[in-house]
Amino acid sequence: MISKIDNQALDAEAERILRLNDKGTYTVPTHGLYPYQWNWDSAITALGWAEIDLDRAWTEIETLMASQWDSGMVPHIIFHVPDDSYFPGPDVWQGRGPVPSSGITQPAVAASMVRRILAQDPGQADRMRALYPKFRAWHAWYMAWRRDTRGAIVTTHPWESGRDNAPEWDRQFAAINPVGVGEYQRRDTGHVDPSMRPTKFEYDRYIYLVQEGAKCDWNDAAVADLPFRVSDPTMTFLFLRAHRDLFEMGGELGLETEGMAQDLTQLEAGARSLWNDDIGSYDGRDADSGEFRQCLSNASYLCWFAGVGTARQRAHLNAVLDRLPFGIPSHDPGSPNFDAKRYWRGPTWAFINMLVGMGLADAGETALAQRVQRVTRDLIAANGFSEYFDPTDGSPAGGTSFSWTAAVWLAWARHAVDDAV
């Protein structure tokens, strides 16, 4: 533990960051690098708002859900105001929602976050009742269009998974020839050291998949035939938990929940289908061939958030925290693909730590939950509110003044309890 933590100063800085990134009805992740509203960023950020302004927390979720397409899909980026500091913008995506947006979704963590907000603010149950049909439609879309044959959730684009350059995608990417992508100008490397960002090889394939989706007008059946389909622990575990939270909120509020219990049975089977006995961990796999990716990632540890934690996974987590005491790395540090500062190939992400820690606490894994929480508290206290952190030394990386890191501090990390002396 670091020698002394000034919680009051850190609270003030976290609140300052949220207000700095506040656009009135939505919050950008950080200025410059990410100038729009991102789906799972927004949901996590709402937890931070709930600590300082409950009404503003509800507004964050309501603005996100107002971007919903007629199909039920809630997009991963909502382009509320044009901004040429980001590529690809709405002209490339050609989304067809009520406001300009991307054509893919993101991990459906929002229902789980809004359940926590409702628990803090039960007097606003009517706001949840108004949101409930939108969540039901989004989750129904997920069940219809993002499940593999074994019940796990599939990502059709690395950006949809939220873990853009994770090693799980390498084999799939190697098989994609990004013909016709043409010239384009990235904006992200103008804001952040390129050594911390995805490579051009990866970005060519990101853009190729966007262009192919736009060509088919983001038709759900056509998107399912695009050359990227990976059954993903992030998508699966977060959706399973979100669907369970939505089901339980529906019951508590006296709302319709028909079919949701059966959905949960299928999703639980899908989550367990991601267990790779060869590495003793949950793992991504090719959605069509079933071939595992052989990757132990921070997404693997989200199993507790989904309620399917295992003793083997606990042993992995304790071992990696013993080796790298700066939070959960996004990829196995023993892997040749580990890169301590390059986005999702190694860095620690505070919000993933939080979701893992919350899941551990829910599962009764109190000591390990508190360990993850303490590590995250100390990491932020020592190194600030960066997008992510080098897990080998804790140094900040990626974007700065990051909304969801501030939210993690306010909603969770600052409440860590030290080991008894």
Tokens of 28: 């950008």
Compute the distance between CA of residue 272 and CA of residue 274 in angstroms, rounded to an integer: 5
Alpha-carbon distance values, 392 to 323, 327, 329 (Å): 9, 9, 9
* Strand boundaries in 222-357, DSSP class E: 230-231, 275-276, 281-282, 285-286
Tokens of 378: 């100390």
Sign of CA dihedral 349, 354, 357, 362: negative
**Number of other CB atoms surrounding residue 323 within 10 Å:** 12
164 has catalytic annotation: yes
Task: Name 397's bridge partners.
Answer: 388
Compute the distance between CA of residue 194 and CA of residue 251 in angstroms, rounded to an integer: 48
Instruction: Give the CA-trace dihedral at 164, 235, 217, 30, to 10 degrees.
Output: -50
387 has catalytic annotation: yes
Find all residues with CB under 8 Å of 363, minimum gap 6, and list them.
304, 307, 309
**Number of other CB atoms surrounding residue 97 within 10 Å:** 20
Which run of H or of E encompasses 38? strand 37-38
Exactly one of 204, 332, 387, 390 is catalytic; name it.
387
Tokens of 311: 């003793």
Exactly one of 164, 245, 378, 390 is catalytic; name it.
164
Burial class of residue 419 (count of CB atoms within 10 Å of its CB; 0-12, 13-18, 19+): exposed
Find all residues with CB under 8 Å of 227, minimum gap 6, and list them.
172, 175, 176, 209
Best CA proximity match to 111, nearest among 119, 100, 99: 119
Q: What is the per-residue DSSP string for 385-411?
A: S-SEE-TTT--EES-SS-HHHHHHHHH
8 Å CB contact between 380 and 405: yes
Sign of CA dihedral 218, 220, 222, 223: positive
Active site residues: 164, 387
